[in-house]
Structure 1
Amino acid sequence: MVGAVRQSVNGVDLGRALRELREASGKEAKAVARSALMSPSKLSKILNGKMAPSVADVERILAALDVPPEVSAQLAAAARTVATEATAWRIYRRSGLHKHQEEIRAIESQAKSLRVFQASCIPGLLQSPEYIRSILQTSGLSDESLEKMVGARVCRQEVLHESRRRFSFLVTESVLRWRLVRPAMMAAQLDKLVKVSRMANISVGVVPLIALMPEPPTCSFVLFDARMAVVEIPHAEVTARDPRDVEQYVRKYESFERVALLGDAMREFVERIRDEYVTEQETA
């Protein structure tokens, strides 16, 4: 079929199978799209074989259709067979980075626990609006796109207040010291980091530079429960769902957590660096 992107795995045509399930359910496509947290046009492309669905897309559509567990398990397994996806950042910029934030928010809303390791900047869920705006100003976004991006990322942070979810963040000391924004902004950002760390469902750890590193911190990544890892590399975002691949990132996270400062020790450490920024700002 010209123009189609059929994703057939082990004889299962995912688009066609999902379309038939939607028709059998009697549910309107718009209602299914709304429940699956995607646009009607995206759902239409998936069901008609014009877009290969991600595993997350398949899982959300199946949940919206209330598919029997045995059927859901079969199709989800077929989708996971193609377990690693890489999407170039230029693709997200083309469609709108703020829309990608909404997609991430949809994935986060389905996870009971998130573990974030960052070696380059403050994790998005912990960033202040000023920090977000400042680090994105060199990304080539228009003023309108930049403000949409700031708003979308701040909106994502609402999930932190859902007490039934568990959030764990690890950053390297270098993240606290990178001169990505002005000293006053960094001081305010580190204040936010300390404040958030006091929430009952949130853990924040810092891997100090003097720690004996278990391995090089080669990339930043997010673990959604223990079923999916999203890895940031310079040109793309890579999503891994194969359990063997995800387990590598689980082990990596746990190895850094063992040498990280946590709780009061972390807060005292961050506050000392915050005070350095404050002093620098006052004497500038």
Structure 2
Amino acid sequence: MLDPDRLPDDRHDLASVLRALRRAAGLSGERLAARCTMSQTKISRIETGRAVPTVAEVERILHALGTPPDVAERMLQLARVANTDFTSLRAYAEAGLWRAQDAIKALIRSATLVRQFLPVMPSGLLQTPDYARTVLTPAIPGKVKRDVERAVAARLSTQDTLSDHDRRFLFLLTENAIRWPVGNPDIMAAECDRLAQVAEYPNVELAILPRDAWLPIRPLNYFTIYDDRLVTVELFSGVMTHRDPKDITQHAGMFDALLDHAVSGEAARELLSRIRSDFMRQVD
């Protein structure tokens, strides 16, 4: 019998502990697979660390093994950790911000539907070069030096994915995200033009939450949903990645709830035009 107080806390030990639990129960991989209605290949991939099981899959395995509740709870904690990653923005900056764009481009290319909720500013997929340059130039001095121009070029390169009409994009922005003046009025007016341009793409839907709209939930974080496979959530300190289907479903539900209160199509274009006019009135 495994002692729950001796179970490892590292997410990378999830596979080995599941394998140990199966062996302690006296079951072969084939018998366990039959008990939890999974393939023997899937069980093998989980136990060797080649596949990360969802929390629901770990629950099925633990139930099939008759795992004691205290051990099962610790294992479910490990499973939740295994399905969540965190990368700090400091680590991104130290490695080179352009490398983060390579990762984003790879995620986009692996998906057929990309949904972004943007409460603070348009994402890199929607930014003009001047807007991106302003955003990526550090305002607070630090030890990490940024190659801003290389990061801008990488961000603009990622926008090439918008031209693939086999892939759909749904952008949901708050009005405040468009109005927040990260640059001078000319930069902001040009960004409005860019948003209006992208909204005309046949594979893109752009929706805006008016700032006077009543919202059922508070829009706190920027997040992106890639198909129904994973969600990335951008925080002030870094990026969280969730792979658990329950987390993905939760974010998809929040996205849909907010989308119900947004304007799109002609109404969104009219709102963009008004915002652009407001910026142009600030130009000397």
Question: Could you tell me the TM-score, scaled by structure 1's length?
Answer: 0.73
* Structure 1 residue ranges, 4+ long, deviating more than 6 angstroms after superposition: 141-144
Q: Distance in 1 between the 2:14 and 2:193 partners?
A: 49
Q: Deviations over 1:87-116 (max 9, x none)?
A: 111111111111111111111110111000
What are the ranges of 5 or more consecutive residues in structure 2 without an aligned counterpart? Answer: 1-9, 19-40, 56-78
Assess, with a 3 A threshold, how the Cα gap between structure 1 residues 79 and 152 changes in structure 2: closer, same or farther.
farther
Contact 2:54 2:244 in 1 (8 A): no
Assess, with a 3 A threshold, how the Cα gap between structure 1 residues 246 and 132 changes in structure 2: closer, same or farther.
same
Give the aligned partner of residue 11 of structure 1. 16
Contact 2:97 2:146 in 1 (8 A): no
Contact 2:83 2:242 in 1 (8 A): yes
Give the aligned partner of residue 183 of structure 1. 185
Q: Offset at 1:72?
A: 9.5
Is 1:231 matched with 2:236?
Answer: no
Q: Offset at 1:279?
A: 2.0
Of all paired residues, the percent bearing the same amino acid is 31
Give the aligned partner of residue 198 of structure 2. 196
Aligned-partner residue type, residue 106 of structure 1: A
Question: Could you tell me the TM-score, scaled by structure 2's length?
Answer: 0.73
| Aligned pairs for 1:256-275 within 5 A | 256-275=258-277
Assess, with a 3 A threshold, how the Cα gap between structure 1 residues 106 and 205 changes in structure 2: closer, same or farther.
same
Is 1:118 matched with 2:118?
Answer: yes
What are the ranges of 5 or more consecutive residues in structure 1 without an aligned counterpart? Answer: 14-68
Q: Distance in 2 between the 1:6 and 1:177 partners?
A: 41
Q: Distance in 1 between the 2:102 and 2:229 partners?
A: 20
Give the aligned partner of residue 94 of structure 2. 94
Q: Distance in 2 between the 1:12 and 1:101 partners?
A: 35
Q: Secondary structure at the match of 1:11?
A: helix
Q: Secondary structure at the match of 2:86?
A: strand
Contact 1:9 1:78 in 2 (8 A): no
| Aligned pairs for 1:1-284 within 5 A | 7-11=12-16, 74=46, 75-78=50-53, 81=79, 82-139=82-139, 140=141, 145-281=147-283, 284=284
The RMSD of aligned alpha carbons is 2.4
Aligned-partner residue type, residue 76 of structure 1: A
Assess, with a 3 A threshold, how the Cα gap between structure 1 residues 178 and 72 changes in structure 2: closer, same or farther.
farther
Contact 1:9 1:79 in 2 (8 A): no
Number of positions where the alignment pairs a residue of Structure 1 with one of Structure 2: 224
Contact 1:187 1:277 in 2 (8 A): yes
Higher radius of gyration, 1 or 2: 2
